[in-house]
């Protein structure tokens, strides 16, 4: 009851509309996450705590294959709203991944990254990139900016240079997605967590080079930025805005890392204005069918949508890539798409006037309203 009250209250501030708008934001596209089942088994045998039942990213999430895209696009294209628009995934995409071979060849003295295309080639998934383009052409899957890589380079390289045992074991399996003990619970996935103030300049460079790579990959600049894991300094958001980002996703209560363990809180709501003509977007619904027992189920999501519409807010759904991926577990892809199909069926039945939009379309509506 308390969580439901908090969820309701959090929908009060910000931009309102009588229209029933549904946006689906899906994070992590392009990141390696767990390279293979073999890597997972090796790391488990070495004692890395990577198999979390409640958050099964490391047991289910890996690069999206042709089969994954075909299944997802078949699901999305089978539905239309009253305007004839399909549901669309705003795919929060990474432009690069670590180049493990070059980093090791330089004995961990220098960080190197490789583009998404090079990563896909290394994993024999280069054909999958055609589906990134196909999805955008069909307005089913629109990539936007999730960062250069889903990795805090400074923290990770420091641990490698110090030869941290578990970090090194993970490195040799092409993996980094865990919480090392020496970082007080901060995951390497938190790309813009600021351990020390002097890392700000490097984080700004990550934004600039990441946007350049995004433009090379997708033949356009991104307009929307979702910081990985949410933790990010305001100066990095300002840099993203200067690089062309018009919209930035933010938690409603954003804890801004200041370095040296200090944080600063900001209160944000959908439609809030920032510097450089920036508009903040916030999420108010969750749909994670791969771990539905923590308030992320189909029925939970329908409740979130109903609350959003009650307070005249668009329903902005968070639904990560792992729910639709079959590379590590084919049954996960099948189950995720079936549950998404059921969700969309129930949405259209309950709210036939619903409108499907991308995050940027929603942002433009807010800006022009």
Domain range spanning residue 218? 2-311+320-368
Tell me the C-alpha distance between 142 and 25, whole Å: 10
Tell me the C-alpha distance between 232 and 191, whole Å: 8
The model's pTM is 0.95
SS3 204: helix
CATH number, domain at 297?
A: 3.20.20
Task: Please state whether beta strands 96-98 and 89-93 pair in parallel, antiparallel, or not at all (unpaired).
Answer: unpaired
SS3 79: coil
Range list of β-strands (E), the chain = 21-29, 89-93, 96-98, 113-115, 141-145, 224-225, 247-249, 253-259, 262-267, 279-281, 285-286, 315-318, 355-357
- Tens of pLDDT along the chain (369 residues) come to 546 656 566 778 889 999 999 999 999 999 999 999 999 999 999 988 786 666 799 999 999 999 999 999 999 999 999 999 999 999 999 999 999 999 999 999 999 999 999 999 999 999 999 999 999 999 999 999 999 999 999 999 999 999 999 999 999 999 999 988 766 668 899 999 998 899 999 999 999 999 999 999 999 999 999 999 888 999 999 999 999 999 999 988 888 888 778 888 888 899 999 888 899 999 999 999 999 878 899 999 999 999 999 999 999 999 999 999 999 999 999 999 999 999 999 999 999 999 999 999 999 999 998
DSSP sequence for 218-257: HSS---EE--TTS---HHHHHHHHHTT--EEE--SEEEEE
Q: What is the total count of domains within the chain?
A: 1
The two structure tokens encoding residue 235: 């100066």
DSSP sequence for 324-338: G--SS-HHHHHHHHH
Cβ pair 331, 289 in contact under 8 A? no
Task: State pLDDT tens for residues 58-86.
Answer: 999 999 999 999 999 999 999 999 999 99
Nearest to 87 by CA among 128, 26, 28, 29: 26
Nearest to 150 by CA among 308, 21, 33: 33
Q: Which residues of 219-235 are buried (b: 16+ CB within 10 A; e: fewer)?
A: eeebbbbbbbbebbbeb
Nearest to 34 by CA among 159, 186, 176, 155: 176
Cβ pair 206, 145 in contact under 8 A? no
SS3 277: helix
């Amino acid at each position: 009851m308390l969580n439901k009250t908090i969820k309701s209250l959090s929908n009060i501030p910000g931009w309102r509309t009588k229209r029933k708008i549904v946006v689906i934001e899906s994070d992590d596209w392009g990141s390696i996450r767990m390279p293979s089942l073999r890597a997972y088994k090796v790391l488990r045998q070495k004692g890395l705590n990577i198999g979390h039942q409640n958050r099964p990213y490391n047991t289910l999430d890996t690069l999206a294959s042709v089969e994954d895209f075909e299944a997802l696009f078949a699901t999305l294209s089978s539905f239309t709203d009253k305007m004839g628009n399909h549901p669309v995934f705003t795919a929060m995409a990474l432009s690069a991944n670590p180049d493990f071979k070059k980093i090791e060849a330089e004995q961990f003295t220098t960080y190197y990254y490789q583009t998404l295309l090079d990563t896909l080639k290394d994993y024999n998934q280069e054909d999958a990139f055609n589906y990134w383009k196909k999805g955008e052409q069909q307005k089913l899957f629109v990539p936007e900016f999730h960062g250069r890589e889903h990795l805090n380079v400074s923290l990770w390289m420091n641990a490698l240079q110090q030869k941290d045992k578990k970090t090194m074991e993970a490195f040799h399996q092409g993996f980094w997605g865990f919480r090392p003990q020496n970082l007080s619970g901060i995951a390497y996935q938190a790309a813009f967590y600021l351990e020390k103030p002097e890392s700000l300049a490097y984080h700004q460079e990550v934004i600039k080079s990441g946007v350049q790579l995004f433009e090379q990959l997708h033949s356009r600049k991104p307009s929307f930025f979702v910081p990985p894991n949410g933790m990010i300094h305001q100066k990095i958001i300002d840099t993203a805005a200067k690089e062309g980002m018009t919209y930035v996703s933010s938690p409603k209560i954003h804890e801004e890392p200041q370095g040296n363990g200090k944080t600063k809180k900001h209160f944000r709501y959908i439609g809030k204005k920032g510097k450089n003509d920036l508009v903040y977007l916030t999420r108010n619904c969750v749909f994670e069918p791969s771990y539905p027992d923590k308030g992320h189920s189909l029925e939970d999501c329908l409740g979130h949508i109903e609350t959003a519409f009650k307070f005249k807010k668009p329903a902005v759904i968070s639904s990560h890539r792992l729910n639709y991926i079959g590379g590590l577990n084919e049954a996960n892809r099948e189950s995720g798409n079936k549950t998404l199909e059921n969700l969309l069926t129930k949405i259209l039945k309950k709210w036939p006037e619903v409108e499907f939009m991308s995050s940027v379309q929603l942002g433009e509506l807010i800006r022009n309203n």
